[in-house]
Structure 1
Amino acid sequence: MSYVAKGAFWIGVYLLLILAPLAILLIEPVPPGNGFWWDVSLGLGFAGTAMMGMLFLQTARFRRASAPFGIDIIYYFHRQVALIAVLFIVAHPIILLILKPQLFDLFKPGVAPAHLWGAVVSTLALLALVATSIWRKQLALDYDLWRVLHALLAVLALGLAIWHVLGVGHYVDTPWRKQLWGTFSLSWLLLLVYVRLYKPLQQLRHPYRVVEVKEEKADSWSLTLEPDGHAGLRFQPGQFAWLTLGSSPFALKEHPFSFAGSAEKVPALTFTIKELGDFSSTIKQVKPGQIAYIDGPYGAFSPDRMTAGGFVLIAGGIGIAPMMSVLRTFADRREKRPLKLLYAYNTWDRLTFRDELQELEERLDLEIIWLLKDPPPNWEGESGLVTADLLQRRVPLADPEQSYLICGPVKMIELTEKLLHQGGVPLARIHSELFDMV
């Protein structure tokens, strides 16, 4: 089955699970309603609750379900769906209170039933979850702390929402409806057990050991791991994994990084990590022999998934890491197809992997285009930012056999995608890896 067919299948499964609670409302016997907008409000509440439950599924990292899209796209979809779910859930009580202002009386102390206050707390937890996710950096929330808070708020919001649905009982008052909602609730609980217990337990049984910590240019470090007592994993060049260092996999202290090593040299795994945050700034302190855990591989950003006569790789900053995995793998495979690498960076002296890339030019049919924002005196190469003129001059835009892989800062990716498409490159030939998905 093609990736397109698989993607269509999983989209269908998702829509079926989202719409199932709404379908339950329409099956006889249907309780008497209070008009169109009343029913719309209840429908939004049910749909929002179902969408909340499916948010757990989107972050469970099921490889078969995420393979057609790429886990980065799944996480971006997760963000957008979470916002829609919040709108649905907030709109649900607002519409009811507009239709029947006397419902405000229920919020008097000692009047409202417990399940109503459960809905209030659930909504507040959901709003807090979204706010801390959108403004995590502005709130100066540590990434690891945010992950724990995110998980707790999500469980609280969904658990109380289900309690509210069952407590109201108006649309789940028949035995078979209660059984269906009980099945949904149990499924979400089992999903939580799978993500927070089963997967970390599997990682615990398949540890890795750090064998090398190598300093690279531009405050970057290459970390090489080897499996400890097991065969390890295989990956495709360009993919990534979640890495846990110095903590138990149950501690929610994992971070996503692209593989930078050759896929032909497993079981050893290499990650190149730039000092950009609290965790990445500690990589230089890691010592050989330290235990590590890996959850992967993930991602659709790989030439192994593409049919192409050649590849154009466009990298910015530490976005060079997955490109190094591609080029190192191609060199080990004795790849003959033509390759171009457009590497954008600030200065020549801090270019990560500069020396090795020049060596790879000799081993592959590879042309490297160095693009410097702050070039040295007498620089004869390209300078500035990625522009339409640069791409028209240096990149084969009219070749239908080429595929284009882009990785770097989000603004650079968005601009480059736009310029390539405007230059005549079909969207199906443009592939990007987004780093800030979590």
Structure 2
Amino acid sequence: MITQSSVLEKFGLQYPFKFNKKSKLALGYFCLMLLPFLATFSLDMADKTTYATILTTVNVLAMMAFYMQFPLVSRLKSFSLFANIDWNITHHKKIGLWLGIIFLLHPVLILAPRFLVSFDDGMHSLVSVITAPQMLTGIIAWVGMIIWILIAIFKNTLNISYETWRFTHMLGLVTIMILATLHITSVGSHGQFQEKFNLIWWALCATSVTMVLYNYFIKPRILRSKPFKLIDVAQVSSTDWQVTIEKKDASGFDFEAGQFVWLNTSKHSGGVKEHPFSIASCQADLPRVSFLIRNLGDYTSKLDTLKIGQNVYVDGPYGSINLAESSKAKAIVLIAGGAGIAPMLSLLRGLAEKNDARPIRLIYGNNRLDQMVLQDEIKALEKTMPNFKQQLVCNEEFNQEHREDIYQGVIDKDCIEGVFNSINNQNSIEAKKDCTVYLCGPKPMIAGVNTSLKSLNIPKEHIHYEQLSF
């Protein structure tokens, strides 16, 4: 059954209305989307039919959404509206899919009235559009957008390296944006008659291109003047490495537990060589910073080739997860899946540094036991921290006597509820009321755990997570 509250949740809102961080972001982006729309309709335009007005509205909003794709991924942490990188990336992908659909339907919606009059009229209009020289930019942008959206969706299936995909994705979308802007300012009904309309769109286009140039060419050169040094690379499980770097001047870098950065270990200064990794260390370890990195791709499979002492370039930190979100909580549950252990370990180390006496639980899941990292350190924390326990979760069938610290299977509802029971002497209901949950892992794991938390009536505002997907 579709309810008012369920519809609002799709847009990051709650019923009754509670403006949390994500709903404020959604509202802010929506207001920005309306600016060119309002500017367009403030111009003195000829009367339009209802259908043409609706079509113009859709086109204007879609183009603004296209331009907004660039600040969403530009890591503008100085601007609060663009600072939540995980939220930005998630919505960048969702908006991209909708833009692909709108671009696909764009010529269909324009030509549909002609085909409704007669098939011959429709075909004549279609041929005129395809053969008209001034339509070439629009046609190229239309075809290019469809192809680039499909590549983004199936990039893993196509086995494209992260660096190659990121560069071609950026280059392709910038080209499509310029062609689309040329199309709407030279062929679109507004652009043909209103110079002010054209100025709006070319200004937005120029701003987007400037962001790309800064992030891919200017910022990397700035970062090269502030290098870190590689201190250590050590394998800490069958699939994971711990990489430790140190700031050369021992100043100018700070972070909060749970955040991540983009690392560049290449000699090249281009932004396409960067890779996002979560910080696993805590602030007390500065100027040294450690990362737990799983061997999952073409770059991470070559970590053992890095040279101790080489320069490493860091863009960050980023991320909205931090311990301030649990400052008023009576208990904390950290849930990590696979490589998601890095930010959870950073949070745990930060809590240990403060000697936090609240009940703290770590649920750590992997496919195999030999993928569990830094178990000696975590077990030591179980002894030294006032109220900390770890619950391992493993899919692998192991031939050893039953261990209470290992839950066989995946991180499901029963596993999570068992951990809540351990917090408050079997009274999980009380534990859920005042507990903050931090969550990090692969996208399917995040979705499954969120479903379990919802079924356990964990308040949505008490759940903080980031997905390992860029």
Q: Same fold (TM over 0.5)?
A: yes
Partner of 2:356: 335
User: Separation in 2 of the partners of 1:198 and 1:306?
Assistant: 37
Q: Does the Cα contact within 8 Å between 1:41 and 1:93 map onto a contact in 2?
A: no
> Structure 1's 362 and 17: CA in aligned 2 closer, same or farther, altered over 3 A?
same
> Structure 1's 430 and 251: CA in aligned 2 closer, same or farther, altered over 3 A?
closer
Matching residue's letter, 1:351: M
Partner of 2:273: 253
Q: CA deviation at 1:349?
A: 4.2
For the residue of structure 1 that corresponds to 2:189, the secondary structure is coil
Counterpart among 93, 114, 139 of residue 107 in structure 2: 93
User: Separation in 2 of the partners of 1:15 and 1:302?
Assistant: 26
Q: Does the Cα contact within 8 Å between 1:31 and 1:171 map onto a contact in 2?
A: no
Q: Which moved more, 1:17-26 or 1:364-373?
A: 17-26
Pairing 1:77–2:77 present: no
> Structure 1's 11 and 418: CA in aligned 2 closer, same or farther, altered over 3 A?
closer
Pairing 1:15–2:30 present: yes
For the residue of structure 2 that corresponds to 1:379, the secondary structure is coil
Q: Does the Cα contact within 8 Å between 2:217 and 2:271 map onto a contact in 1?
A: no
Structure 1 residue ranges without an equivalent (≥5): none
Counterpart among 422, 430, 435 of residue 463 in structure 2: 430
Matching residue's letter, 1:37: Y
> Structure 1's 37 and 336: CA in aligned 2 closer, same or farther, altered over 3 A?
same
> Structure 1's 405 and 7: CA in aligned 2 closer, same or farther, altered over 3 A?
closer
Matching residue's letter, 1:369: Q
Partner of 1:104: 126
User: Separation in 1 of the partners of 2:67 and 2:143?
Assistant: 17
Matching residue's letter, 1:144: E
> Structure 1's 192 and 350: CA in aligned 2 closer, same or farther, altered over 3 A?
closer
> Structure 1's 251 and 237: CA in aligned 2 closer, same or farther, altered over 3 A?
closer
Counterpart among 376, 379, 391 of residue 369 in structure 1: 391
User: Separation in 2 of the partners of 1:407 and 1:269?
Assistant: 19
Alignment map for 1:27-426 (pairs within 5 Å): 27-33=42-48, 35-65=49-79, 70-100=84-114, 101=122, 102-107=124-129, 109=131, 112-114=132-134, 116-168=135-187, 170-172=189-191, 173-229=193-249, 231-307=251-327, 308-364=329-385, 365-373=387-395, 374-381=397-404, 382-395=407-420, 396=423, 397-398=428-429, 399=431, 400-426=433-459
User: Separation in 2 of the partners of 1:175 and 1:387?
Assistant: 58
Q: Does the Cα contact within 8 Å between 1:66 and 1:74 map onto a contact in 2?
A: no
For the residue of structure 2 that corresponds to 1:222, the secondary structure is strand
Q: Which moved more, 1:136-145 or 1:297-306?
A: 297-306
User: Separation in 2 of the partners of 1:406 and 1:289?
Assistant: 33
Q: Does the Cα contact within 8 Å between 2:72 and 2:88 map onto a contact in 1?
A: yes
User: Separation in 1 of the partners of 2:366 and 2:212?
Assistant: 41
Q: CA deviation at 1:306?
A: 2.9
Q: Which moved more, 1:9-18 or 1:223-232?
A: 9-18
> Structure 1's 9 and 64: CA in aligned 2 closer, same or farther, altered over 3 A?
farther
For the residue of structure 1 that corresponds to 2:270, the secondary structure is helix
> Structure 1's 188 and 388: CA in aligned 2 closer, same or farther, altered over 3 A?
closer
RMSD after superposition:
2.3
Q: Which moved more, 1:190-199 or 1:210-219?
A: 190-199
User: Separation in 2 of the partners of 1:278 and 1:181?
Assistant: 39
Q: Does the Cα contact within 8 Å between 1:209 and 1:227 map onto a contact in 2?
A: yes
Q: CA deviation at 1:167?
A: 0.8
Matching residue's letter, 1:190: T
Q: Does the Cα contact within 8 Å between 1:38 and 1:95 map onto a contact in 2?
A: no
Q: CA deviation at 1:292?
A: 1.3
Q: Which moved more, 1:330-339 or 1:62-71?
A: 62-71
User: Separation in 2 of the partners of 1:67 and 1:157?
Assistant: 25
Q: Does the Cα contact within 8 Å between 2:75 and 2:82 map onto a contact in 1?
A: no
Q: CA deviation at 1:369?
A: 1.5
For the residue of structure 2 that corresponds to 1:377, the secondary structure is coil
Aligned-pair identity (%): 25
Give the TM-score of the pair, scaled to structure 1: 0.91
Q: Does the Cα contact within 8 Å between 1:203 and 1:295 map onto a contact in 2?
A: yes
User: Separation in 1 of the partners of 2:158 and 2:314?
Assistant: 29
User: Separation in 2 of the partners of 1:25 and 1:328?
Assistant: 53
User: Separation in 2 of the partners of 1:145 and 1:198?
Assistant: 20
| Count of residue pairs the alignment pairs up | 431
Give the TM-score of the pair, scaled to structure 2: 0.86
Partner of 2:119: none
Matching residue's letter, 1:170: S
Q: Does the Cα contact within 8 Å between 1:316 and 1:345 map onto a contact in 2?
A: yes
For the residue of structure 1 that corresponds to 2:438, the secondary structure is strand
> Structure 1's 388 and 129: CA in aligned 2 closer, same or farther, altered over 3 A?
same
> Structure 1's 202 and 247: CA in aligned 2 closer, same or farther, altered over 3 A?
same
Q: Does the Cα contact within 8 Å between 2:104 and 2:146 map onto a contact in 1?
A: no
Q: Does the Cα contact within 8 Å between 1:226 and 1:232 map onto a contact in 2?
A: no
User: Separation in 2 of the partners of 1:118 and 1:367?
Assistant: 61
Q: Does the Cα contact within 8 Å between 1:38 and 1:99 map onto a contact in 2?
A: no
Q: Does the Cα contact within 8 Å between 1:238 and 1:322 map onto a contact in 2?
A: yes
> Structure 1's 392 and 14: CA in aligned 2 closer, same or farther, altered over 3 A?
closer
> Structure 1's 359 and 257: CA in aligned 2 closer, same or farther, altered over 3 A?
same
> Structure 1's 415 and 170: CA in aligned 2 closer, same or farther, altered over 3 A?
closer
> Structure 1's 347 and 250: CA in aligned 2 closer, same or farther, altered over 3 A?
closer
